[in-house]
Chains A and B, each alone.
Chain A
Amino acid sequence: MTTETPTTPKAPGRPARIAALLGGGAPVYALLAALLVALAVTDPGFYEPDRLLAFIRRAAPLVLLAAGQYLVIVCGQFDLSVGAIVTAGVVVAAELYSEFPGAHWLVVCAVLLGAGALVGLVNGLITTGLGVPSFITTLGMMLILEGGVFFWTGGSPQGYLPDDFRAIGRDDVFGGLPWAVLVCAVVGAGAVALMRSGFGRTLIATGDSERAAALSGVRVHRVRTVAFVLSGAAAALAAVLVGGFSGVSAQAGSGLEFEAITAVVLGGVLLGGGRGSVVAAMAGAFSLTALFTLLNLQGVSGALESTVQGAIVIAAVGLGAADWSRLRRRSPSRGGPPS
């Protein structure tokens, strides 16, 4: 039982500090720093401004997906459909251009974002309204979208993406600053602002304890559905970048959902919800991209990427689930907080 009385304030003890560090994603920043150093050592030219910006541009779609995935994971769900949304987005954009060759790129982007948000809405409504676990809902959505794209295009997408559309994924706004970097920065700032807002705090609290949140008046279903909508929209935005960067392909987004989940987990975000920061999740996406770049430079086969990714997911979740309070027992002299 507790012995603390109201007159003896105590500073948070060691487990609290360790947990705070983990929650703040400190390990991922250390990892990212280590990878960037390793890149510099391997490839001295890496830090030339245009190459660095090119690296960020390459990482940008995954960063967007990680931000969206973070919102879903932190409230206790999964979104496996984002890779398929990217693929579908790219293909739909190409088809739109073959139907309406003169369409303005802003209109096409708006249609894609709307469609991505709509897919997210369906994911959210099915998960919360019907009580289908999100793992299943979004897995089903992924298969539906992939099958739909395959059926529609016969496996080889027709159409092309005009240069003004592709500019977002591959060109610069001005003075050597790529569009993708700008999009990344804006979305990142937006995500940080969102997570500091009342909605963001409510979202995390929902992931932490659905019951406590509901009994505090949180509209749990609505909050979670909004997270799915934002994840879907983020995936559509990633589709715009991917389409611009690598053009039309029926495999444009394949595997991205697992890369996004890996990035989020690498950022120290707790699967099941309730802990982790969106900045750390995005740093996880940069780390993953940096790691793949490094492996590539070291001459490791690209085929091993998924192997590496699998090992990372397991290790990150395993470390995140470790019982840090054991440290307290090993150092009893420090005195832990009442538990």
Chain B
Amino acid sequence: MLTMRDMTKSFLGNRVLHNVTLDLVPGEVHAVVGENGAGKSTLMKLLSGEHTPDGGRIELDGEVRTFAHPAQAQAAGIGVIHQELALLPDRTVAENVLLGREPTRFGLVDRAAMERRTAELLDDLGAVGIGPGTPVRDLSVARQQMVEVAKALAADVRILVMDEPTAALAEHEVAALCDLVRRLSARGLGILYISHRLREVFALARRITVLKDGRAVTTVATDDTTMDAVVRAMVGRELTSYYPPRAARARVGDPVLTVEDAGNERLARISLSLRPGEILGVGGLQGSGRSSLARALFGAAPFTTGTMTVAGRPLRPRRPRQAIGAGIALVSEDRKGEGLALRQSVRDNALLVTRAVPGRQRPPGDGALAELLARVRLAGAGHGAGREVRFLSGGNQQKVVIAKWLAARPMVLLFDEPTRGVDVGAKAAIHTLVRELAGEGLAVLLISSELPELIGMSDRLLVMAEGHLAGELPAGASEEDIMRLATTDRTALARKGGERR
């Protein structure tokens, strides 16, 4: 019923899809899987009319169609359920489901008919316990998703695109969603199911298309393949960059940071230890809790349970200031929003932490500051520290962030995607610097979505999935090892489903 042929799309000269071809037959669940940034969401947005393709064509029942606007795609019978739900939170369920197609009576909206029709649709879906008159805000995410599906059905869609529908759901809710998907396909809908949770994919899909770096690597029938084969197809790529050699010195000494069975609303049963001089990598998919872990250790989104020690003393930081005082630093993934005061000078940014937390370390003088900026290899460090950081390149901005923390002489450095959005030269400089700092005895936690970076830099690797630690890997683990742990969550899920409200 649907064929997408040779779909191609570039953003700002950056090609994110290369000739991707995909087809869908009625009653089929067709899964699209791939790493973060593989092009899954872009492909779906071409189908839903949110983006227009640069090349390729979409055929619906053998007829070539172009969608310049989401409304056109919807009129053609294509419904999309996004990762972020698109409901009006203050309207009722019925108002949302029949938005734009309200039944009328004498020219006025017929509320009774509206609620009746909505109740029928929800019954059809086996969604019990959702009152048509309830404001959507009061429903759980899982129930809001049901409402989204009902809304799509009210629009008579024949093709339903579901983008990471289980990302925000607890385990028992996932099971209910899987039932719903099966029911919909049994009614003849074609479903494109985007997910990187392979367990669900193997339970639901008839066929799987693997995207990698914007290309469709393979399309296989689920029965003819295995999870391992799919994971291999998702990752297998060459190590292209060169990473500085690991420090030779033996890592001895007591851990500078330990966490025992800690958790909060996003994390559960986190236990880890970090020793001086080691780089501990943390891998996992987007939303797996990597950044939450860094923010919890830093006190920005604190742990609410469990114990933590810093330099041997019990401390579970409740705010960043406390963590900073104890010698923990966080290089946030949001450099511009959280790392820097963009209108301030390099100097004011570099000294911010030492000025804000006077007990930790005295603000360096001009000489020490110049040394520090040279140390982080800030380009043009000699040109004066008076430049506003917003005029610096991404790489140089990141170096200012690192300088800001080094000025406070931390013991533990948490790096969250330290090389995102920086150019190749700055990236290499940051890698070398991180290695140097570890060599000097700092403990480093390195979060990265780039598997080669993670593998190239880490002395040891933790992999996260759904807010818990899915496993630990030694240095030199392969990309397949990491992805397998990140996508096939076998253990502990059932227990976790109970813990998470």
A interface residue numbers (CB < 8 A to B): 1-13, 15-16, 19-20, 23, 198-199, 201-202, 204-205, 208-209, 211-219, 270, 274-275, 337-339
A338 to B390, CA, bound (A): 9
Residue from B338, B357, B387, B425 within 8 A of A5 (CB atoms): B425
Which residues of the partner chain A approach B341 to less than 8 Å between Cβ atoms?
204-205, 208-209, 212-213, 274
**Contact A1 to B324, CB < 8 A, known contacts A216-B352, A339-B391:** no
Known pairs A205-B349, A219-B356; list 16 more (Cβ under 8 Å).
Answer: A1-B423, A5-B425, A6-B379, A6-B426, A10-B380, A16-B388, A205-B341, A205-B344, A209-B342, A214-B320, A215-B300, A217-B325, A218-B321, A337-B392, A338-B392, A339-B391
Interface residues of B in 358-384 (CB under 8 A from A): 358, 360, 363, 377-383
Inter-subunit contact B320/A2 (CB<8 Å):
no
Binds A, one of B156-164, B306-314, B393-401: B393-401
Report if B184 contacts A (CB, 8 A).
Answer: no
Which residue of chain A has the shortest Cβ distance to B421 in the bound complex?
A1
Report if B208 contacts A (CB, 8 A).
Answer: no
A216 to B358, CA, bound (A): 12
Inter-subunit contact B348/A201 (CB<8 Å):
yes
**Contact A208 to B423, CB < 8 A, known contacts A16-B388, A216-B353, A218-B356:** no
- 3 tightest A-B CB contacts, nearest first: A9-B380, A2-B393, A198-B355
Inter-subunit contact A201/B352 (CB<8 Å):
yes
Which residues of the partner chain B approach A4 to less than 8 Å between Cβ atoms?
379, 393, 395-396, 423, 425-426
A4, A20, A215: most-surrounded residue (chain B CB, <10 A): A215
Which residues of the partner chain A approach B298 to less than 8 Å between Cβ atoms?
215
Inter-subunit contact B383/A213 (CB<8 Å):
no
Which residues of the partner chain A approach B387 to less than 8 Å between Cβ atoms?
12, 16
Report if B340 contacts A (CB, 8 A).
Answer: yes
A interface, by DSSP: helix, strand, loop or mixed? loop
A198 to B359, CA, bound (A): 13
A2 to B420, CA, bound (A): 12
Which residue of chain B has the shortest Cβ distance to A1 in the bound complex?
B423
A15 to B396, CA, bound (A): 18
Residue from A7, A16, A20, A205 within 8 A of B352 (CB atoms): A205
Residue from B356, B382, B421 within 8 A of A216 (CB atoms): B356
Which residue of chain A has the shortest Cβ distance to B378 in the bound complex?
A6
Inter-subunit contact B355/A201 (CB<8 Å):
yes
Which residue of chain A has the shortest Cβ distance to B395 in the bound complex?
A2
**Contact A338 to B393, CB < 8 A, known contacts A5-B425, A6-B429, A20-B388:** yes
Which residues of the partner chain B approach A15 to less than 8 Å between Cβ atoms?
391
Which residues of the partner chain B approach A23 to less than 8 Å between Cβ atoms?
343
Which residues of the partner chain B approach A270 to less than 8 Å between Cβ atoms?
343
Interface residues of B in 157-188 (CB under 8 A from A): none
Report if B498 contacts A (CB, 8 A).
Answer: no
Closest beta carbon of chain A to B423's beta carbon, Å: 5
Inter-subunit contact B338/A274 (CB<8 Å):
no
Which residues of the partner chain A approach B363 to less than 8 Å between Cβ atoms?
198
Report if B337 contacts A (CB, 8 A).
Answer: yes
Ordered by A's residue number, 28 sampled pairs between the chains whose C-beta atoms are within 8 Å are A1-B423, A2-B394, A2-B395, A3-B393, A4-B379, A4-B395, A6-B395, A8-B380, A9-B381, A10-B380, A16-B387, A23-B343, A201-B348, A201-B352, A202-B356, A205-B352, A208-B343, A211-B337, A211-B338, A212-B339, A215-B330, A216-B404, A217-B324, A217-B356, A217-B357, A218-B321, A218-B352, A338-B392
**Contact A215 to B320, CB < 8 A, known contacts A4-B395, A12-B387, A205-B348:** yes
